[in-house]
Amino acid sequence: MTDELDRLLTESLHDAAECAPSAAGLLAAVHSRSRRYRRRRVVAAAVSLVAAIAAGNLIAGRPDPAIPTSALMSGWAAPIFPYTLPATDGMRAPVASMTAGQVSAFFEATELRDHADVTVTVSATAPASTTGSLRVRGHPATLRTVDVEPAKRLSLYWQESAGQWIELETDDTYTPAQVVALAGSLKPAVIPVLPPFELGLIPVGLVTDTVSASRMTFRAPSAPPGTAGLTTVLRRKQQLKGINKTIDGYDAVLARAGANVTLSIDVPDWNATLVITVGNGFTMSDDDLIRYASAIQVLNRSDPE
């Protein structure tokens, strides 16, 4: 099994690398904006149960004395989502993301009469209630139904192994029995979380916390999930005031607020602003912050928030 997962990981990362544009310097390779892949969520506006529970426990992290304050290295490794659903004509291939340390895969439905969007989340955190009224993959499982619009939300969760809980979320296009069958059909896979940026440099000693279509965050290993020491976000264009830096020809503002430092960079190619924030006990010299920013390349799959 280990050899097979290694093979799948190598192939997946190779395919992802071939899809990334090649360019040098800050925020390059995006002079013509590509049409973005916008995911349609029938289960929109619903926060996953597992993620909500984890978020409820977030507290501000203390500085980790074991982390160097101004050290950068190359070689960011993509988090991996470890499961997939069987391929079907009614659903797209999964898109993986990471939020507060939890990896998820979104399976978008392309045929809406017999299929619905499905999100599968893997977490180390147990939900608050585990009644175990069902059996899934040989384990006790709980199915919750929440009456929301435009469709009822069904959430099935169970403990797959020690330290690993899985939640499968969809809507009432599926019957409860079909939701259980979907969960039972999950199989091992290696699905890399594809980032919105190519990072030429990353901070030494931090772990990846969140990766979405618009942001990447890192935290100290000892900090609670969701407590970012370094946050990089592509935002819709903001009017920069007090420009005091120029980074690879781009206007930028370096500002401080208490212990936090923010570097905002105008990205005219995207009609957006790249905002990098250092805080929550992590520190970085101005020179290293600028080095980190200069080595960022915005990828076509990014989507400003």
Q: What is the pLDDT of residues 221-256, one digit of tens each?
A: 999 999 999 999 999 999 999 999 999 999 999 999
- The CATH class that applies to domain 39-60+79-192 reads mainly beta
Q: Which residues of 181-218 are buried (b: 16+ CB within 10 A; e: fewer)?
A: ebbeebeebbbbbbbbbbbbbbbebbebbbbbbbbbbb
Domain borders along the chain are: 1-32+63-76+195-305, 39-60+79-192
Residue with tokens 């009614």: 90
**pLDDT at residue 114 above 80?**
yes
* 136-195 tens-digit pLDDT: 999 999 999 988 888 889 999 999 999 999 999 999 999 999 999 999 999 999 999 999
Residue 252 neighbours by CB under 8 Å, 6+ apart: 240, 243, 244, 245, 246, 263, 264, 265, 266, 293
**What backbone phi and psi angles, to 5 degrees, belong to 183?**
-60, -40
Element (H, E) at 292: helix 286-294
* 53-69 tens-digit pLDDT: 233 322 223 334 444 45
